[in-house]
Chains A and B, each alone.
Chain A
Amino acid sequence: GFFSSCEGNSVERKIYIPLNKTAPCVRLLNATHQIGCQSSISGDTGVIHVVEKEEDLNWVLADGPHPPYMILLDGNLFNRLVMQQLKGTSRVSGLAVSIAKPNPPQGFSPGLKCPNDGFGVYSKDYGPQYAHCNRTVWNPVGSGLSYEDFDFPIFLLEDANETQVIKQCYQDHNVPTDGSGPEYPLCAMQLFSHMHAVTSTVTCMRRNSIQNTFSINPETVCDPLLDYNVWSTLHPINSSEKVDPKKEFIMVATRIDSHSFFWNIAPGAESAVSSFVTHLAAAEALHKASDVHLLQRNIMFTFFQGETFDYIGSSRMVYDMEKDKFPLRLENIHSFVELNQVALRNGSILWMHTDPVSRLNKKLHIQNKKGGTVNSSVGANVTLQEVGFSQSLPPSSFQRFLRARHIPGVVLTDHQASFQNRYYQSMYDTPENIRMQYPEGLSPEETLEYVTDTAKSLAEVATVVARALYRLAGGANDTSAIQADPKTITQMLYGFLIKMNNSWFQSIIKPDLKGILGDDVPQHYVAVSSPVNTTYLVQYVLANLTGTVVNLTKEECLNPEKTPNAEKEMYDYAWVQGSLDPNSTSRVPYCVRSTVRLSKALSPAFELREWGSTEYSTWTESRWKEIRARIFLVASKELEIITLVVGIAILVFSLVATHFINAKADVLFSIPRDPGAVAY
């Protein structure tokens, strides 16, 4: 035998270069539509064309002689105009987008101009003049690209090195020479992202139930988006019983998820992280206040998951409260404070949004109370200001609560009318968007500890919120002692935006969860398997910031029902890893007692089996088998046909020749004169 290559490379490695750092665009479905992208079942192949300016598109759309093309699109051209052109032609078999560095200066948002429209409180029955963003367009940069349906695959190239490899291949083989087309072999790309679900949630859930009923090996085609809400109360409550209807709670809410055009890319710095980090810091500050146990109203800190997709978490909590499946009922909620997007304040102003319709219907005192607390914010660098009277609430979880019951409440944001965030729900909503900057040359530990200006700004907001909550809960003392800690905030911002695998997060989670702390950029997509990393981390950070360390052994901590005085219904016990001993490799674990709990965040539409509901979120994510991308060279059709023809010719010739040789064997091979020998 012989070896056909010197290093023993497999043939596949000679042909294909796999693209490993990519993110696909997947298919999501709701009650009536499908959005996202789809590829053929055996992948889509096309000749690569690099589009860096608008003129390059003409080659793809009209002039190029080797359609279909796979486009490598520069991030700055990834806009609605270009995508409409690509959608309309059959000469495009797929798209690979390279992330634009730096962020596009004019802003980029593939979300809707009017997020979560139709699932908030404004409808034709309630404040119709505010419905469908008639008065205020919240996300003017929004192109709605995420909510369109594409029939070709679209991938994001996250690694600049891989993009360079593709561009090099294009330069070597695909560049047109003097007006005529380039010659074979050409550089091509193949994208696999075949989605199993079609049409809508109604269709895919129906197919799921058919599979589950009749098939021995059921193939599910789609999964509802679900996760868990994280909630905790200032004073512990008995979670297995219903709370006394006369007890009043102040509900503080933020969302903890985000989205972008591509699957599992959702940095959500301004849209989610800034708000829940501020919320966590305010919770910590409140718990540290000295007379917290004397407050007449309890405070419930709630972190809703899935809000990006038509308020999955908050609609579920409202539903549970209405159906008595939650310890609280809607009647217990005295007032509602929500934090949305608070990192990009203009100057020192923090805007308070209230619902104009219920303000007209009911005389509310919430503004007075908040106005009273403005004084307490003197000293902090935050000015609370109300927006104009004729503006609706921005898209917020509060709207779902208002749908069920008139509750007084405010939504605090950094924008007066449209979002300050020009990268709402996009892959560019990164730490740079909230002006997080670190000096050069810091080690990861030093970066974790470094207090950025963003952290200081959020600390001011958290302080104001904590003091206002203290007042709302009936606290009468001086609030100057209630201060949010910028050090905690900067550590949280680092952990949730830059690297989850840091020493602080490692010390506060359960030992068997340390696998969730990855070294990649954290993403906050709600996903279909739960709980996601973000939910776990919010849970454990909240437990660490608001809970107390108790002196229990591991057995007692893991089995609180057997421990006397543990009061399992009032508290949650967690056995966490603890920090690393400085000189050894072992950790010192301990038990944390807190009031942090998880509640399921699955849209009520799936509980009620109303797949076509217009009342509740019906978002599902399609399933798929394999998602990958690779580049290679393709040979001309002529060479392939020549190979086939040569092969057939050789086969036919050898058949004919062998037949004749065999037939005339006695002529060709003469019988030897020796009679004992045998002839052919």
Chain B
Amino acid sequence: MTLAVFFGCTFIAFGPAFSLFLFTIARDPLRIIILIAGAFFWLVSLLLSSLIWFIAVKASDPRDEPLQKGLLIFGVMFSVLLQEAFRFLYYKLLRKAIEGLVALSEDGCSPISIQQMAYVAGVGFGLMSGAFSMINLLADALGPGTVGIHGDSQLYFLTSAFMTMVLIFLHTFWGILFFHGCENRHWWEIVAVVVMHLAVSGSTFCNPLYVGSLVPSYVLMAIAAVWAYMLSGGSVQNLRRFLLCAQSGASPQPAS
């Protein structure tokens, strides 16, 4: 009955992203376009970085274990830097897009703000990253077997699903942080995003010591969430008002 594992892991990994998509992105065609373009940008960055890694691996001796491990670490770090570079490129593209949208609009205002674009771009990056992390695992989760015959941990599927979920969230928040940093020339925000990304990717080398990779990633996600919330116009009072209103069951305002 490993259909159960398949659906369980799918929901864990993509459930939050799916609900974000459904409620905040799906209704607006412009946001869908930005989402898909963002996903594409992430895909191109992965393609280029994997090309470099592949060439490096083929050019080296496959039997040299420390060298292969070193090449892998190099590949991961290079990929992280390339992803962030493509995020910057996407930012530039979206800036140009806003100018075009303003020119096309009737009232001189763009129908979508750069902050909203940042959020959608982040979700796009996250979804594509999650897909590449998770899809091949899900395909194998359908079979009758589970990981472990060579001594690996049995919780492989579960931890991979949780890691994917946290990474999708992280990409969303990093999108907001990064664009805000580019927009307002706050270079430390950009540096912080890059450093956080490197830290999360680096922590996965602790696997299968899953506590070494999942825990720091969730901690970083919490930090990034709070930071992104603050930058998006949130505050502690708003949060309190939201929670109290939710508890008193007031009728919801029309969503933006």
Contacts and interface: CB of A to CB of B under 8 A. Distances in A.
A, B co-complexed: yes
Given A663-B252, A678-B110, A647 B238 contact: no
B195 interface: no
A662 B140 CA distance: 35
Of A2, A6, A650, chain B has the most CB atoms within 10 Å of the CB of A2
Nearest to B143: A15
A667 B253 contact: yes
Query: Secondary structure at chain B's binding surface: helix, strand, loop or mixed?
Result: helix
Contact of B146 (A5, A635, A666, A671): A635
A6 B72 contact: yes
B255 A14 contact: no
B256 A633 contact: no
Q: Taking each of A5, A169, A187, A640, which has the highest tally of chain B beta carbons within 10 Å of its own beta carbon? A: A640
Contacts of A640: 1-2, 4-5, 8
A7 interface: yes
Contacts of B188: none
Nearest to A639: B154
B146 A643 contact: no
Contacts of A441: none
A641 B1 CA distance: 9
Given A634-B144, A678-B109, A668 B252 contact: no
Instruction: Categorize the interface residue count of chain B.
Output: 35 or more
A644 B160 contact: no
**In this complex, which of B22, B133, B149, B163 has the most chain A Cβ atoms within 10 angstroms of its Cβ?**
B149
Contact of A641 (B4, B75, B79, B165): B4
A1 B132 contact: yes
Interface string A160-190: 0000000001000000000000000101101
Nearest to A645: B8
B221 to A, nearest CB: 14
B233 A680 contact: yes
A3 B76 contact: yes
A647 B1 CA distance: 15
A10 B234 CA distance: 43
A539 to B, nearest CB: 46
B223 interface: no
Interface in B4-18: 4-5, 7-12, 15-16, 18
Interface in A643-680: 643-648, 650-651, 654-655, 657-660, 662-672, 677-680
Interface stretch (B32-40, B86-94, B199-207): B199-207
Contacts of B152: 14
B55 interface: no
A455 interface: no
Contacts of A660: 246, 252
Contacts of B76: 2-3
Interface string B114-150: 0110000000000001001100110010011111111
Contacts of B113: 677-680
B256 A680 contact: yes
Given A15-B149, A45-B144, A667-B245, A647 B256 contact: no
A663 B253 CA distance: 6
B241 interface: yes
Interface string A6-50: 111011101111000000000000000000000000000100000
Interface in B200-216: 200-201, 204-205, 207
Nearest to A45: B144
Nearest to A635: B146
User: For B11, B110, B160, which residue has the most chain A Cβ atoms within 10 angstroms?
Assistant: B11
Given A643-B158, A668-B238, A658 B19 contact: yes
A658 B252 contact: no
Given A644-B7, A667-B242, A668-B242, A662 B149 contact: no
A494 interface: no
A655 to B, nearest CB: 4
A663 B255 contact: yes
A659 to B, nearest CB: 6
A679 B114 CA distance: 10
Nearest to B145: A632
A15 B145 CA distance: 6
A632 B1 contact: no
B130 to A, nearest CB: 9
A1 B48 CA distance: 13
B8 A646 contact: yes
A633 B156 CA distance: 13
A10 B201 CA distance: 19
A625 interface: no
Contacts, number: 197
A106 interface: no
A388 B91 CA distance: 101
B157 interface: yes
A7 B154 contact: no
Contact of B238 (A187, A632, A659, A669): A669
Interface in A414-441: none
B167 interface: yes
B128 to A, nearest CB: 9
Contacts of A663: 252-253, 255
B46 interface: yes
Contacts of B75: 3
B4 A644 contact: yes
Contact of B22 (A3, A12, A655): A655
A59 to B, nearest CB: 22
Given A15-B146, A669-B233, A680-B233, A643 B5 contact: yes
A658 B8 contact: no
Contacts of A15: 140, 143, 145-149
A643 B144 contact: no
B200 A2 contact: yes
A680 to B, nearest CB: 5
Given A2-B201, A650-B16, A8 B72 contact: yes
Given A663-B252, A680-B256, A633 B24 contact: no
Interface in A451-484: none
A664 B23 CA distance: 12
Nearest to B244: A667
Contacts of B201: 1-2
A258 B29 CA distance: 71
B72 A3 contact: yes
A565 interface: no
Contacts of A352: none
Contacts of A667: 238, 241-242, 245, 253
Contacts of A609: none
Contacts of B146: 15, 185, 632-635
A644 to B, nearest CB: 4
B30 interface: no
A658 B238 contact: no
B20 interface: yes
Contact of B145 (A6, A633, A662): A633
Interface string B222-256: 00000000001111001101100110000011011
Given A647-B7, A665-B256, A667-B253, 4 more contacts: A16-B143, A633-B146, A643-B4, A655-B19
13 contacts: A1-B201, A11-B137, A15-B140, A15-B146, A16-B145, A631-B149, A633-B154, A643-B5, A643-B157, A647-B8, A650-B16, A667-B242, A668-B234
Instruction: Give 10 nearest A-B pairs by CB, closest first.
Output: A632-B145, A647-B11, A643-B8, A663-B252, A647-B8, A651-B15, A678-B113, A644-B8, A654-B16, A644-B4
